[in-house]
């Protein structure tokens, strides 16, 4: 095993330029892919924060009776998406309003009659996935008797999710293209090595070398390129993230939103993916070469 | 004729070989005996090289059967092929040493390929090089050697896996007479250790000086067979 490693390593050193180029191509693929992933991790984090903050305000008609209010409460609570329901009587709403006005509170003092309606504040179980459920839900509530008006999350949140999904799609496509390019690079490198060693391979076969004896060094080399590419791609992303977070720490409140690296499992999965890239390239190259 | 003749190392039974429309071998039947020193001769294009290639499955027969050491070649599964090939040591007219590797590495490669234990390889290659008188040139590259020296290395490589059978295609074809004598001597020595030697050559002169059975091929058929005693 150690010997096999030595053999592959020696081989790679003799084609340092080509191997470096291949490793760089894998690293680029990994960098782009994991950067996109990292972006989405953070975008999703933001989204979760916003969605958790999202609530539907249900304003009730002025002439509503206590029984009718109870009925509406019951109906809303029955809905499965509803996490929490808080009744805000108009007095409390006014108090809140006054507090928010602060010094200008005198403005409100002059009011003879409370202009604010009773209302419900509805919190939902929300994620990016069932975001679309909000609009019909709000519509349903709006149609209930004695409901004056319904107000919920700003339109731009929906747009944001839409754009994010668009981004996600293009990132997957781009990642796929880069993956293919990296496979192609590995296959090409391995093919060149195979070609330059074809006499040796032919001799080994004629003298009874097993397929694995012939192939293993190539797979090892490809796996090494995959690993090196994966590690440098992820390392590059880590460095970039460090630089960004040092330069933005001042502007972003840390307790609210934190710049983080990819979770360990994700990073390991990406590394495994880049090793698979190497393996795949090698597989195709060997299959093509050993057939002829 | 007993199908499983104990003394036959290789049985060639009604073998045909076509390359496209070209008939290289036609209905060749031949037993090659254990520990035999066999020459296959005949004019250029007679099918000598083709016949040798069929033995180690360098080519496949178009018809007929070949049995090597009790194994029918047409029934050997792909993954068993390396183990069949380990029964053979192959020598070529143009040596086919790997140009980028030293004498030592050329032999060590085959020793490894046939599964020699890592620890034993250095010793094994050393003793092979001593056998063929090339121990001083272990680190030389093939191109810095004479033809005779290269063929000695090729012989060492051929016997690195302790094969039962040596297959040599014109092993002396590109050598001067003295170098050729050295190579033939080495092959005879290896035969005396218990191996079967098969040599394709049209060098009838050399057959006379060595002695052994001779098969003459012509246009893909066995034309004649005779035993020539060693000339003293
Ligand atoms: N790979 C091939 N494809 C097509 N025809 C071939 C192939 N190999 C050999 N032949 C043909 O088969 C016939 C026998 O060739 P072979 O090489 O066995 O002859 P040979 O006896 O070894 O000749 P020489 O003494 O010149 O080496 C020849 O006519 C040759 O042209
Ligand atoms: Mg020939």
Element (H, E) at A88: strand A82-88
* Chain B contact set for A208 (CB, 8 A): 82-86, 88, 113-114, 161
- Both tokens assigned to A108: 């409100």
What pLDDT shows up at residue B96? 94
Burial A153-183 (b: 16+ CB within 10 A, else e): beeebeebbeebeeebeebeeebeebbeebb
How many helices and strands in chain B, by DSSP H and E? 7, 10
Length in residues, chain A: 292
- Tell me: pLDDT of B230 over 50: yes
B30 bridge partner residues:
B12
Helix, strand, coil share of chain A (percent; to 5): 75, 10, 20
Q: Where are the domains of chain A?
A: 2-49+163-291, 55-152
Instruction: Kindly report the protein residue whose alpha carbon is nearest to atom 29 of ligand 1.
Output: B45
pLDDT tens digit string along B98-157?
998 999 999 999 999 998 888 899 999 999 999 999 999 999 999 999 999 999 999 999
What pLDDT shows up at residue B153? 96
A200 CA distance to ligand 2 middle (Å)? 21
Instruction: Classify the phi-psi angles of A33: left when phi > 0, otherwise alpha if psi is within -120 to 50, otherwise beta.
Output: alpha
Angle (CA) A29-A31-A34 rounded to 5° is 105
Q: What is the chain A residue with the closest CA to B81? A: A208
Instruction: Kindly report the protein residue whose alpha carbon is nearest to atom 12 of ligand 1.
Output: B24
- Whether residue B182 contacts residue B148, with contact meaning beta carbons closer than 8 Å, is answered with yes
User: What is the number of other CB atoms lying within 10 angstroms of the CB of residue B87?
Assistant: 21
CA distances in angstroms from A53 to A40, A217, A258, B1, B224, listed in the order given: 20, 56, 18, 95, 99
What ipTM describes this predicted complex?
0.90
> Domain A55-152 has what CATH class?
alpha beta
User: What residue has token string 């029964």?
Assistant: B87
- Whether residue B110 contacts residue B161, with contact meaning beta carbons closer than 8 Å, is answered with yes
Give, for all 292 residues of chain A, the pLDDT tens digit.
676 777 777 777 777 888 888 898 889 888 888 888 888 888 877 777 777 777 788 888 888 888 888 888 888 888 877 888 888 888 888 887 777 776 665 665 666 677 788 888 888 776 656 666 777 778 888 888 788 888 876 566 777 778 888 888 888 888 888 889 889 989 988 998 898 889 999 999 999 999 999 999 899 989 999 999 999 999 999 999 888 877 776 555 555 566 678 888 889 999 999 999 999 999 999 998 877 6
Measured between alpha carbons, how far is B39 from B53 in angstroms, rounded to an integer? 15
What pLDDT shows up at residue A131? 66
What pLDDT shows up at residue B4? 46
What pLDDT shows up at residue B3? 43
* Chain A contact set for B162 (CB, 8 A): none
What pLDDT shows up at residue A142? 80
Element (H, E) at B63: strand B63-68
pTM: 0.76
How confident is the prediction for chain B on average, in pLDDT?
A: 92
Using CB distances shorter than 6 Å, the residues near ligand 1 are B 19, 22, 24, 42, 44-50, 202
Please report which ligand is nearest the Cα atom of B47. 1
For strands A147-151 and B8-19, give the pairing: unpaired
Measured between alpha carbons, how far is B227 from B213 in angstroms, rounded to an integer? 4
Element (H, E) at B221: strand B221-228
Helix (H, G, I), strand (E, B) or coil at A223: helix
- Would you give the DSSP letter of residue B186? H
- Sequence-ordered list of residues with C-beta below 8 angstroms from that of B178, at least 6 positions apart, any chain: B148
CA distances in angstroms from A91 to A112, A117, B45, B191, listed in the order given: 13, 9, 112, 113
Helices (H), A197-263: 198-206, 211-248
- Both tokens assigned to A151: 């107000």
CA distances in angstroms from A272 to A173, A286, B49, listed in the order given: 19, 21, 49
What pLDDT shows up at residue A92? 82
What pLDDT shows up at residue A203? 94
What pLDDT shows up at residue A111? 67
């Amino acid at each position: 095993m150690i010997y096999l490693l030595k053999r592959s390593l020696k081989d790679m050193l003799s084609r340092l330029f080509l191997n470096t180029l291949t490793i760089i191509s894998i690293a680029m693929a990994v960098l782009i892919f994991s950067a996109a992933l990292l972006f989405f991790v953070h975008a999703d984090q933001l989204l979760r924060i916003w969605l958790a903050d999202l609530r539907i305000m249900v304003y009730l008609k002025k002439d509503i009776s206590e029984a009718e209010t109870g009925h509406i409460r019951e109906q809303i609570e029955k809905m499965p998406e509803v996490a929490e329901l808080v009744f805000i009587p108009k007095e409390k709403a006014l108090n809140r309003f006054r507090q928010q006005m602060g010094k200008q509170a005198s403005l409100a003092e002059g009011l003879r009659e409370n202009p604010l309606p009773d209302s419900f504040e509805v919190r939902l179980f929300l994620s990016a996935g069932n975001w679309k459920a909000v609009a019909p839900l709000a519509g349903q509530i709006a149609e209930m008797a004695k409901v004056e008006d319904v107000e919920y999350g700003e339109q731009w949140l929906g747009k944001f999710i839409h754009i994010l999904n668009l981004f996600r799609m293009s990132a997957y496509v781009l990642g796929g293209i880069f993956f293919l390019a990296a496979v192609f690079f590995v296959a090409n490198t391995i093919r060149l090595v195979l070609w330059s060693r074809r006499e040796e391979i032919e001799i080994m076969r004629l003298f009874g070398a097993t397929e694995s004896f012939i192939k293993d060094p190539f797979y090892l080399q490809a796996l090494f390129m995959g690993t090196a590419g994966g590690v440098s791609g992820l390392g590059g992303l880590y460095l970039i993230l460090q630089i960004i977070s040092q330069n933005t720490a001042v502007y972003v409140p840390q307790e609210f939103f934190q710049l983080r690296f990819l979770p360990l499992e994700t990073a390991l999965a990406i590394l495994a993916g880049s090793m698979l890239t190497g393996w795949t390239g090698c597989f195709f190259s060997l299959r093509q070469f050993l057939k002829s | 004729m007993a199908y499983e003749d104990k003394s036959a190392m290789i049985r060639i039974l009604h073998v045909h070989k076509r390359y496209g429309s070209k008939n290289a071998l036609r209905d060749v039947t031949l037993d090659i005996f254990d520990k035999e020193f066999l020459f296959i001769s005949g004019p250029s294009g007679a099918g000598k090289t083709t016949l040798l290639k069929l033995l180690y499955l360098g080519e496949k027969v178009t018809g007929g059967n070949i049995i090597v050491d009790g194994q029918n070649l047409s029934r050997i599964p792909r993954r068993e092929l390396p183990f069949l090939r380990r029964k053979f040591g192959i020598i070529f007219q143009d040596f086919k040493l790997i140009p980028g590797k030293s004498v030592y590495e050329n032999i060590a490669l085959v020793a490894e390929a046939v599964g020699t234990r890592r620890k034993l390889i250095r010793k094994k290659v050393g003793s092979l090089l001593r056998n063929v008188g090339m121990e001083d040139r272990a680190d030389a590259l093939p191109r810095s050697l004479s033809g005779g020296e290269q063929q000695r290395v090729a012989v060492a490589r051929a016997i690195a896996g302790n094969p039962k059978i040596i297959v040599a295609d014109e092993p002396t074809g590109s050598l001067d007479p003295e170098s050729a004598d050295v190579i033939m001597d080495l092959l005879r020595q290896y035969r005396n250790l218990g191996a079967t030697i098969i040599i394709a050559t049209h060098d009838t002169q050399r057959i006379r000086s060595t002695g052994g059975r001779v098969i003459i091929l012509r246009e893909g058929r066995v034309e004649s067979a005779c035993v020539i005693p060693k000339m003293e």
